[in-house]
Structure formats: structure tokens, C-alpha cells
A and B are shown apart, each in its own frame.
Chain A
Amino acid sequence: MDTYRPEEAWAFAQLDEFWERYRPLTPWGKDAAEARPFIADRAELERRYDDVEAALGFLADRAGDPSSLDRASYHLRRMPRLALEAKDSYELIELFQIKKFIANYRGARSVLGEPLALRFGMEGLADGSAAKALAAELDRGGSDPETFYLADCYDGGLAEARARVAAADAAIRSERVRAEAGARLDFGVGFDGREFLVLPKETTRAMMAAAGSRFSAEPFDDARYVVRVMPSDAALEAMSDRERALADERLAEERVIARISALAAAAMPELSAAVAATARWDLARAGAALAREFGMTRPRLDSGSLALERARFEPCAWECGRLGLGYTPLTAEFRSCATVLFGSNMGGKTVVLKTLLFFQLLAQAGLFVPADRFETRVYARVAYVGELTGERLAGLSGFGLELWRLMRARGEDDDMPAAEGADACGAALAQAGEPAPSGAALIAFDELARTTGSHEAEALLSAVVESYSGGPGSASSGNGDRAFFATHFRGVARLPGVEYRRMRGLDREAAAAAISSAGGAGIPGGGLEGRLAGINKHMRYEVVDDDGSGSESDALAIASLLGLDGRIVERARYYLTKDGL
């Protein structure tokens, strides 16, 4: 797995909230999820998809047996993190963790059944193996398969030392009970098991005068003393015996720990393999649970195009749900290396970019995707060029930040090695079914050059689009990148090899009717939320071809719907026509 992390693309695609629904249960599964994997190895991705499919089959088979599913989760959830390196001596707590792991590993295998367990590499502990010998030894210590204790049976010396400790404890206790009874009988003072008592000065003086050797006293304040029961000679003797027995016990414990540690060290290769197999099953189960929750399907990684059918960008769907708005899944196919996507404000073109990255990142995390169909290929990188919510980059203007991101996406930044590979984009398309060239990137540009003047912005945008067109003049031809450009700028150059699309946008007839019914005062509904809901209702979130013939965006209509003064909207239309835009 590559260590490359497409952090900005991840943030732009709003994956965090969705990622919280992906819930492996073991420590290693959680580690893997927290690492937000980005896998650029197609074989590894296909293997992971196969795993998810196998786990889906398990979940479907056991759908009528909830207790079985509960047990499957139960054992994974109880897996402890354990030391996997061979050591001369393990701590008691580490031996406990190994025992607990083995108990739950056996439980998990039992729930899965032998064929499925073996499919994930969860081998049983073989007869005669070091792991089996270790498990048998650990099973001797503890009242439960998941607890551990250095039991007397491990070592004759241990049992003998503990018997001496117990005898000493009994003697100490007996002496203490006797001393407390004497205090009550002689002085009416009840210690009741308390280590000390705070007693009045007079009582203390009487106790010390009559039986000073049985008690110790120290001042508490000017009227009271702290009084303790002094151990008797027999109790002192028992305490000494106890200390000697404890020393012998420690020696015996160290012998036992050394012996079990040697078994554990020998079993580490098998335990490591069991941990890896368990983590694999855990990730597959979590991926399958996610797939069931969201109706997700297996991505296809053999496509020269990028195609989505009823693709649900869940973070947006949730947000729409919270706002009471409708959400339209995306259906679209993009064949070229460069696609320019036009659309008005609120038309959904940024959401399309987010959707594309969301799907690609999920697919390259080894997970299914929430669409009826998603066809793509594997990219070495997924990049985003545009603004991110709440970001600050000291010392750089907005334009500088854009250019910095642009250069980084193109591998022209010092921190990012230049893209590798030499296959031309066209060749990559022709070789549908082959892995993407090493170094190929999927890049989303959201409103590139938004921070500069429109004339220069269109020129810059045109040049960048051209560089991804795969045509003879393209600077980056041959590296297999696929780029998407969402933009307002209608004047961007029309270039061969580039797809031009637009969001279908506002259903102006329906919107006009709404305006008309509201007396021309915009969509009724009270407040921004109601007006946004009205616009959403009449916005068509679909990607259609753009032949370049359209000129007017929906901005003025939207301004009108939002309630902007009608006279201003009319004057804007006048200027739009006057300038021939």
C-alpha cells in the first residue's frame, strides 16, 4: 500500500462524516480505518472487494440468525491489541492479552465456519504447533478463557510459597481480630477493621497507661490522638514469614513467566498471521456492513471512462435531508481525459466534483460505493485544486494558493514527485481494462482562477484544460491524468479531446410559475431556508452535454428567486444583452 494520502481531496469530498460509518471492531481494523487507506494497486483492491463480497455472503446467510451475527461482532470487539514481537520475557498483562486473543480468535473462527475462516486465512491452531502449546499452557491459568492468572499449578514452588503466604495472612488476621476484640473489651473502643482511630485524649491515655505495648498513639490535635493497634509478637513473626514467602513466590512467578514467554515467542509467527487474518476479516465485515447499510455496489476498475449510475453522494444527501430538500443521485459518463463542467450558482457542479472524488476515494480505499454502477480505473493520485472550507495559508494570496495547488496536482511542487509513466491518455483509453499508468492522477478543479480577473482567468483555465486534453499541444499528455473543471467561465476555449458538459440547471418555466404565483416577489417560504428549498425544487441536478450555444446562466433567475429587487434583476438583464454576453 502506498503511503500517499490525498488529504485535500478527502476533505473536499467530505468523506469524514461518511467514514465514521465504517466501523471495524478490532484494534488492527480500527488502525487501518484511521489510516484512511488510499490503495493504488488494483490487484489489492480487487482482493479487498472479493473479501467484502465474501463477508456480504456471510451476513446474508446469517440474516435469520441474529445471535450468530452478534457473536461474530462480539469476538472481534473483544480482541485485545497484543505484543507481536518475540521477547525474552512478556509482562503478565501481555500474556493475558495473548490468551484473550486466542480465546476470541477461536470464537470468531467457530462463528465463521471452517471454509470462510480459511478463506480469510484464519487457520486453526495446528496440533503440535507452538501456538497450540502456548494456548494450552495459558488455559491452565485463570478462571475463565479470557482471564489470566499465574495459577499454583504452573510451578510447585509457587503453590508452596502461596500456601505459606496464606498461612501467614491467617495468622496476621487472627492476631488482629484478637487485638481488636481486646481493645473493645478493655477500653470500649471498636476498630472495626479500621487501620487507625481518632480517639479523645483521655481514652488514649487510659489505653496507653494500661496496655501501651498493644497500641501506638500520636497527636491528632490538642484534644485527640491517632491510635493504632500494634502487631503482637505472633503477628510480627507471621509478617516476617509472609515476606519470605513473597520473595519465594516472586522467584517462582519469574520461572513461570520465563517458561510461558518462551512458548509465546515461539508462537509469534502464528499469532502474527492470525492477527493479520483477523484484521482482514474485520475490514471485510465492516465493509460489508457499510455496503448493506447504504446499498453499495462493487466498483469496476477496468474502465477507460468514468461512469456513475444513480451515484449517491451521501454527505450531500444527508445535508439535503436535514434541510428538507430533495437529493438527486448522479448519473453520468465521462470518456475524455479532460471535462469542463459549466453551471450556474447552486446548480450542483461542485457537488458533481465532490461526488466523483468521493466515489474514487471510496473505491481506492477498498470499499464498495453507494451507486447502482461505478466504473473507473485505479489512479496513483487523487487531487483537488480549489478552496477548502476554513483554510488559511499564511503569506499566500488566494491566487497564490490556487497556483500552488495546481502545481502540486501536476507534480510540479517540490513536495510531490513528478508523475511517472509514459502512456498517452489516448492509449490509456484504448487499453481499457489495463491498470492506469503509474503516476496517473484524477484531479478535480473547482472554479480554477476564480480569484483573478475573468479575462485572464479564462485564458489560464483554457491553457490548463488544454494541458490535460491529451492533444498534441498538451503539456501533460502521456501521463494518463483525468481532469474535471467546474467553472462559471463560459469563454473557456473549446478544444479537441475535451468534453464540455453543463448542469441542466434551473427549470425556468417551473421557477417562473413559482415567481408568478408569488406575485413576482421570489419564492415564498419565509427566510433563506424556504427560498433555498424553492430553488432546489426547480433545479435539475443532471449533467448534460454543452454545445457552447447557451449564454445566459441561471444566476439572474436565482437572484430573482432569492428575492433580489426586481428592478436590479431587470437592469442586469439589460446590461447582459447590451454587452452581447
Chain B
Amino acid sequence: MLDRPEDFVGRVTFVTGPEKHCGKTTFMNRAAALARRGARESGRAAPALLTVGYDGEARDFLSGARKPAVPVEPGDLVVTTERFARPCSPEILDALPGSTALGRLCVARAGRPATVALVGPEGNSLVAWAVRRILDDGLADTVLVDGAINRVTQAASIDGARFVYAVRVDAAGLDRSVSRVRRMAALAGLPLASADAPAGGGEGACGSVAVSGALTAETAARLPPSAEEVVVDDFTKVFLSDAELAAFTRGRRLLVARRVEFGGFVVACRGLSDDAFLERLADDSIAAAVAFNPYEERPGRAA
């Protein structure tokens, strides 16, 4: 899974992860290559590549310490500043409202192969604006967004959008990583509340309570004991650890008002084998949603 063109072509994929340097951008580059190939074979438009905010790569690029990180091909769409897009000889298709610390952002079509630094809007609403602009105007139907997990909320408002979760695992942090994966699997699988569930902050019939904003250990403790069913806006509003979440859901039913489609985990193991990770995970249903490092060649796992 997550290693074929059809896994990405014709859909919006948010590539997320729990922290910096967890492999989001590297995975997005691979996904873009696959999507590019799939789009070419099926006669579709080339993919659009976005990021959220500007990360270490962009800043390092400014200081000259690192090369820009995202290879593009002719026809690809990028959202970045015009100056950062210049290496790919861009045709500017639109300008995003407002500006960033690095300059104004544009939607541009690459005119030639190059590596560019992506700079994205900081606000959730502008990320959604850019994605909608690309989709609604038919500029591309394959979109890859490199973004933090808290940007997933925007994915919920875009039809067919989904997110993947990139995790870097090493031997010392195995338990922590497994815990994160379990927690995310639990969150991604939260059932959708019915349409007549109470709105944010409200209390409905039959012990159903809607939590407006974040569900933390503190807000959870303040919920009335009679609240058998708790509704949050979406899973990104849940700030409970794996253990806290497990304890919470033993006594109550946790639901989401908006469901975000989940594409799977991308796990890059370092200092331990993929099998060791799966063994510690010890959950076949979650394992079915795990893809491993797409840059690794293994016996029996074709590139």
C-alpha cells in the first residue's frame, strides 16, 4: 500500500506526522513521483505539491546551508513564493491572498525540471483555499500536502481528501512509536456522530455531550459522569495520550462530528527491522494499514 500510482492519483493526500524530520517531505517526494507517473499514464494533469508554513528546509535554504528539497517536473503545480519557484521557470496561475514572511505565495506550474523549496500558507483556511483553487479550477486533481497533523482538519472539508501518517521508528523509541501508531489508529477509526448529535459545547439527550475545542485530560475530567457519549469536532481535537484515550473509551463512547479519511501509516524503521516493529505492534488490523520506508529495497518487497 501507498506504493502505487493509484494510491495517490485523483485525490488529495495530506502527508502528516507527529514531529519534524519524521520523513513527511521525503515520503511526499516519492508519492509525487508515483502520482506523476500515474497521471501521465492516465492522461491526467500532473500533481500539485503544497506544504504548510515554511519548515527547516526552507530556512536552511535561505542561509544556503541546505538545498531545496522538492524535485518537480514540467507540468507539476507548486504553491510557494515566486522567488522559490523561479528555478522551475514557473508560469504563475494565481496568487494567494496575503503574504508570508518569505514573500507572497503563488500557485505556479513548473516549466522544467528543478528542485524547489516549498513555502506554504500558515493558516488552515489558506491551505484549504489553495487546495480548492487547484481542484475547482481543474488545475490538477492530484494534490499532495506536506503538513503537520493539526492541519488535517482542513482535509475534512475537501471531498475525497485523506491523510497519511509518517512515523520514524528507532530501537530506543520503539514503544513510544508503537504507542503513537496505536493512538492514531484509534483516533482515525473514531465513529462518526449522527447528524442529530449535540453541537459544539452542547448537551444532548441520552447522555450525549459535544466538546467544543480540545478534549484534554482536564476537560475529560470535567465531563458529567452521565455523559456516555462524547462528540469532538474531529480527531485532531483529542489531546489524550494512548493510555488516557484507552481509559476514556472504556467508560465512554467517543465520536467525531467530522470524519477524515485515513490512508495509512508510513513507517521508517532505523536500528530495528520492520518485522520487529510489527511484532511489538501486535495488532493485525493496524498492521494492515502500515507501509514501510518506500526508499528501502527489501527481499520480497518490490520498489
Query: Using a CB–CB distance below 8 Å, which chain A residues touch chain B?
Result: 80-81, 91-93, 96-97, 142-143, 146-150, 162, 165-166, 169, 173, 189-190, 192-199, 203, 220-224, 246, 253
A179 to chain B, nearest CB (A): 16
Q: How far is the CB of A226 from chain B (nearest CB, A)?
A: 8
Known: A173-B113, A189-B297, A198-B295. A222 touches B271 (CB 8 A): yes
Tell me which residues across on chain A come within 8 A of B106, comparing CB atoms: 93, 96
With a CB–CB cut-off of 8 A, which chain A residues contact B103?
A: 91
Chain A residues positioned under 8 Å from B104 (CB to CB)? 91, 93
Q: Which residue on chain B has the smallest CB distance to residue A97?
A: B95
B100 CB–A CB distance under 8 Å: no
Q: A91-B82, A149-B111 are in contact. Are A196 and B91 (CB under 8 A)?
A: no
Given contacts A165-B112, A220-B270, A221-B270, contact A194 B89 (CB under 8 A): no
Give the residues in chain B near A193, CB-CB below 8 Å. 33
Distance between A182 CB and nearest chain B CB, rounded to angstroms: 16
Interface residue? B293 (CB, 8 A)? yes
Given A96-B106, A190-B303, A221-B270; A148-B82 close (CB under 8 Å): no
Q: With an 8 A cutoff between CB atoms, is B247 at the interface?
A: no
Not counting A150-B89, A162-B89, A203-B297, a sample of 6 additional A-B residue pairs whose C-beta atoms are within 8 angstroms of each other reads A91-B82, A92-B86, A149-B91, A193-B33, A197-B295, A197-B297
User: Which residues of A lie under 8 Å from residue B111 when comparing CB positions?
Assistant: 149
Cβ of B286 within 8 Å of any chain A Cβ, yes or no, is no
With an 8 A cutoff between CB atoms, is B90 at the interface? Answer: yes
Q: How far is the CA of A221 from the CA of B295 in the complex (A)?
A: 14
CB distance from B96 to the nearest CB of A (A): 10
Q: Is B93 an interface residue, CB under 8 A from the partner?
A: yes
Which residues of A are found within 8 Å of B170, using beta-carbon distances? 221
State whether A169 touches B295 (Cβ < 8 A).
no
A169 to B170, CA, bound (A): 38
Q: Is the CB of A166 within 8 A of B90?
A: no
Please tell me which one of the listed residues B82, B97, B295, B303 contacts residue A93 in the complex, with CB atoms under 8 A apart: B82
Interfacial chain A residues near B87, Cβ < 8 Å: 246
Digit string of B272-296 for contact with A (CB within 8 Å is 1, else 0)? 1100000000000000000001111
Decide if A199 touches B92 in the complex (CB within 8 Å).
no
7 nearest A-B residue pairs (beta carbon): A149-B91, A198-B296, A96-B92, A221-B271, A93-B82, A92-B82, A192-B303
Residue of B nearest to A191 (CB): B303
Query: Whole-angstrom distance from the CB of A149 to the nearest CB of chain B?
Result: 4
Contact for A198 among B30, B86, B112, B297, CB less than 8 A: B297
Q: Which of A80, A97, A149 contacts B90 (CB 8 A)?
A: A149
- Given the complex of chains A and B, what is the CA–CA distance between A192 and B294 in angstroms? 11
Which of under 10, 10 to 19, 20 to 34, or 35 or more describes the interface residues of B?
20 to 34
Contact yes or no, A143 B295, CB < 8 A:
no
Chain B positions within 8 Å of A253 at CB level: 86
* Contacting pair B295 A148 (CB below 8 A): no
Q: Which residue of B lies closest to A189 (CB)?
A: B297
Q: What distance in Å separates the Cβ of A152 from its nearest Cβ neighbour in chain B?
A: 10
B296 nearest in chain A by CB position: A198
CA distance A97 to B92 in the complex (A): 9
Nearest to A162 among chain B residues (CB) is B89
B29 within 8 A of A: yes
| Contact between chains at B91 and A148 (CB < 8 Å) | yes
Q: Which residues of chain B are within 8 angstroms of A81 by Cβ–Cβ distance?
A: 97
Q: How far is the CB of A183 from chain B (nearest CB, A)?
A: 11
**CB nearest neighbor in A for B170:** A221
Complex Cα gap A203–B296 (Å): 12
Q: List 29 A-B contacts (CB under 8 A).
A: A91-B103, A91-B104, A93-B95, A93-B106, A96-B95, A147-B109, A148-B92, A149-B91, A149-B92, A149-B111, A162-B89, A165-B112, A166-B112, A169-B113, A173-B113, A190-B297, A190-B303, A192-B33, A192-B303, A194-B294, A195-B29, A197-B297, A198-B297, A199-B297, A221-B170, A221-B272, A223-B273, A224-B296, A246-B87
- A-facing residues in B75-108 (Cβ within 8 Å): 82, 86-87, 89-93, 95, 97, 103-104, 106
Bound together, the chains give a CA A421 to CA B156 distance in angstroms of: 59
Q: Is the CB of B92 within 8 A of A198?
A: no
Within 8 A of A (CB), among B10-65: 29-30, 33
Residue of B nearest to A165 (CB): B112
With both beta carbons as reference points, the residue of chain B lying nearest to A221 in the complex is identified as: B271
Shortest CB distance A489–B (Å): 40
Q: What chain B residues lie within 8 Å of A221 (beta carbons)?
A: 170, 270-272
The listed residue (A147, A165, A173) touching B92 by CB distance below 8 A is: A147
Contact with A along B101-125 (1 / 0, CB 8 A): 0011010010111000000000000
**Residue numbers in A under 8 Å from B294 (CB-CB):** 194
- Known interface pairs A92-B92, A96-B92, A166-B112. Does A196 touch B271 (Cβ–Cβ under 8 Å)? no
A91 CB contacts on chain B under 8 angstroms: 82, 103-104
Chain A nearest CB from B162 CB (Å) reads 23
A195–B32 CA distance with the chains assembled, in angstroms: 13
B91 touches A194 (CB 8 A): no
Which chain A residues lie closer than 8 Å to B89 at the CB level? Answer: 149-150, 162, 165
Once bound together, how far apart are the Cα atoms of A91 and B81, in whole Å?
A: 11
B82 CB contacts on chain A under 8 angstroms:
91-93
Distance from A217 Cβ to chain B, minimum over Cβ atoms (Å): 14
Most chain B CB within 10 A, of A91, A93, A96, A173, is at A93
CA distance A81 to B104 in the complex (A): 12
A197 touches B296 (CB 8 A): yes
- B-chain residues with CB within 8 Å of residue A173 when the two chains form the complex: 113
Docked pose: A253 CA to B90 CA in angstroms:
12
- Residues of chain A contacted by B293 (CB below 8 angstroms): 198
